[in-house]
Amino acid sequence: MQNKGIGSSLVKAGIQQCLNEGYDAIIVLGHPNYYPKFGFVPSVKYGIKSEYGIPEDVFMVLELKENVLKEKKGTVKYHEAFNSV
């Protein structure tokens, strides 16, 4: 089902839902050639890293409010449920 726009529609809907609910930013772990087309950039640009040893280019962030991450730095901690994935 690739290349039919389904994934893009889901990402766009997810971003819109986060905006509707008032979130400040979104963090994803995903393909570095896919998510940038939606505005995501490597999180290291903001001094934000993952708790897992993953390549920097696949851990990305999208600011939903301008400059909300300007002074934020640190490590993203996932819910313990992700430890078994």
In the chain, the number of structural domains is 1
Residue 17 lies in a domain: yes
Number of residues in the chain: 85
Residue 16 lies in a domain: yes
Residue 1 lies in a domain: no
**Contact status, residue 8 vs residue 49, Cβ threshold 8 Å:** no
With cut-offs at 50, 70 and 90, classify the pLDDT of residue 4. confident
Give φ, ψ of 68 to 5 degrees: -65, -25
For residue 64, what are the domain limits?
6-84
pLDDT at 3 over 90: no
Q: What is the CATH classification number for the domain harbouring 46?
A: 3.40.630.30
Q: Report pLDDT for 24.
A: 96
Residue 63 lies in a domain: yes
Give the side-chain half-sphere CA count within 13 A for 32: 8
**Rounded average pLDDT over 75-80:** 90
Residue 54 lies in a domain: yes
pLDDT at 29 over 90: yes
